[in-house]
Amino acid sequence: MAASAAYAGLRGFADLAHDVFARLGALSSAPVREVLARQVHKVGVATLSAMVIRAAGIGTLIIAYTTYVLAADAAFAVRILIWAVLREIGPLFAVIMLIMRSGTAMAAEFALMRERGELQALRMTRIRVLDYIVVPTVAAMTLSNVAITFYFQLLAVAGGMLLSALLMEVSLAELAEHFFAAATLWDLVYTLIKSLGFGFLVGLVVCVHGLGIGGRQAELPEAVSRAVMQSIVAVLLFNAVFAYLVFGVLFFGIVRAPA
């Protein structure tokens, strides 16, 4: 019973994802672009402004931890910074911020629109909710998450190195040299794919629970709560599957891809 419900849920998300891709052309319409711009602005302002200190703090913490606790040299500390911030913590931290700051707000806004009858009025005016709300929201979440992730990484790496240079006996030039020697284009591609996937998934989940797509007509508090919880689950699953596809290992090496 639970398995079939989970399957139906996943199938619903897959169908919605397909519909979103199929209707991306709706973004050429002026009112839809307006919604896209508004959502990007809302997501950006809400999330980016909350990031500066946290990002720099995480960068410093990673370098300080590897240098003092693991007694590593500056080169190793920077390699850990790249691995953690560029590949794992950066995209995850950014999407968690996106879910907490913007995902909750959007799910609540959509649930209110549903309760006020605005969605019904849109449908009766022959304005498809998929075109007018879902497509721009998913696009806005996806694009914003990429921007947020790179912003977070920039702040974490730059802030981390700067603060480390001030607080520890390592020069900024030395840290920067190690960074540019160790970072590769692949790190950026890896981050880009992850942040696109994370943002897309969060956008879908927020729309499904906020707008009550597929018969999920929950009350406002429940819609927000479900949107947050399922967004986190979806992001973690995507992260695990992506790591498995890229590195061939899952759950700290317990599951390995066939040779």
Partner 1 sequence: MSGLRLRVTAPTRPARESLLGFLTGLDEQPSGYWVEACFAEPLRALREACGERVAVAFEDGGLLQSLDAWRNVLLPVSFHAAHDSRAARLRAQGILAAVGRRPEDFMASPAQLSLFEKRLIGFVKAAVLEPQLLVIDRLFEELGHEEQKSIASLLELFHRRYPLRRMLYVGLSESPPGLLAGFEPLEREEAIQ
Q: Interface with partner 1 by CB under 8 A: which residues?
A: 29-32, 38, 109, 112-113, 116-118, 121-127, 132
Residue 250's beta-bridge partner residues?
A: 255
CB of residue 122 to partner 1, shortest distance in Å: 7
Residue 255 pairs with which residues in a beta bridge?
Answer: 250
Question: Which CB, 34 or 219, lies closer to partner 1?
Answer: 34
Q: How far is the CB of 41 from partner 1 (least distance, A)?
A: 12
Q: Nearest distance from residue 31's CB to partner 1, in Å? A: 5
Which CB atom, from 19 or from 187, has the smaller least distance to partner 1? 19
Q: Would you say 191 and 90 are in contact if contact means Cβ atoms under 8 Å apart? A: yes
Radius of gyration, CA atoms only, the chain? 20
Q: Closest separation between CB of residue 216 and partner 1, Å?
A: 19
Round to whole Å and give the CA distance between 215 and 9. 11
> Which residue's CB is nearer to partner 1, number 117 or number 221?
117
In the complex, the smallest distance separating the C-beta of residue 106 from partner 1, rounded to whole angstroms, is 11
If 0-12 CB within 10 Å is exposed, 13-18 middle and 19+ buried, where does residue 189 land? exposed
Residue closer to partner 1 (CB basis): 137 or 195: 137
Of the pair 126, 169, the CB lying nearest partner 1 is at: 126
SS in 3 state form for 120-135? HHHHHCCCCHHHHHHH
Are 155 and 51 in contact, with CB atoms under 8 Å apart? yes
